[in-house]
A and B are shown apart, each in its own frame.
Chain A
Amino acid sequence: MDRAQIPLPVLEAAIGVVLLTALALLLVTGVPSQNTADPQLEAYAQDVATLLGNEPPRHANETRLSELAASPGAFEREQAALQRRIERLLTANLFYQVQTPHGRIGHRLPQSVRTGSATVPTAHGPVTIRVWYG
Chain B
Amino acid sequence: MRAQTTLPVLGVALVLISAVSLIAVQASSSSLERASEPALDRATAIALSERLVSNGTDLTVRANVLNRSRFDRIDERFLRENLSVRNDTAVRIRVGNRTLVESGAVAGGTSFERIVLTRTTQRRERYPTVDAGEAVTIPRRVTAVDITLAPDPNASVRTVLAGDRVVLRNESGLAGQYRVRISRFVTTPMTFDAIGTLDRGDVVLRYAAPVTRKATLEVTVDG
Contact = CB atoms under 8 A, between A and B. Distances in A.
Interface of A: 1-2, 5, 7-10, 12-13, 16-17, 20-21, 23-24, 27-28, 30, 39-40, 43-44, 47-48, 50-51, 54, 56-57, 88-91
A44 B115 contact: yes
Interface stretch (B14-22, B79-87, B153-161, B167-175): B14-22
B65 A51 contact: yes
A79 to B, nearest CB: 20
B27 A90 contact: no
A72 B185 CA distance: 23
A30 B30 CA distance: 12
Nearest to B25: A24
Contacts of A50: 63-64
A27 B31 contact: yes
A57 B27 CA distance: 58
Contacts of B62: 54
A60 to B, nearest CB: 10
Contacts of B10: 9
A27 B2 contact: no
B23 interface: yes
B122 interface: no
A2 B31 contact: no
Interface of B: 1-6, 9-10, 12-14, 16-17, 20-21, 23-25, 27-28, 31-32, 35, 42, 46, 49, 53, 62-65, 112-117, 140-141, 184-186, 214, 216
A10 B9 contact: yes
Contacts of A8: 3, 5
Given A8-B5, A9-B5, A54-B63, 17 more contacts: A1-B1, A1-B2, A5-B2, A7-B4, A10-B12, A17-B16, A20-B17, A20-B20, A21-B24, A23-B28, A27-B31, A28-B27, A39-B42, A40-B113, A50-B64, A56-B141, A88-B214
B2 A2 contact: yes
12 contacts: A5-B2, A7-B4, A9-B9, A13-B16, A21-B20, A24-B27, A27-B31, A27-B32, A39-B46, A43-B49, A47-B115, A56-B186
A78 to B, nearest CB: 16
Among A10, A21, A50, A90: residue with most chain B CB under 10 A: A50
A15 to B, nearest CB: 10
Contacts of B17: 13, 16-17, 20
A7 B8 CA distance: 11
B78 to A, nearest CB: 22
Nearest to A3: B1
A105 to B, nearest CB: 17
A56 B185 CA distance: 5
A30 B35 contact: yes
A42 to B, nearest CB: 10
Nearest to B26: A24
Nearest to B183: A56
Nearest to A28: B31
A128 B132 CA distance: 49
Nearest to B46: A39
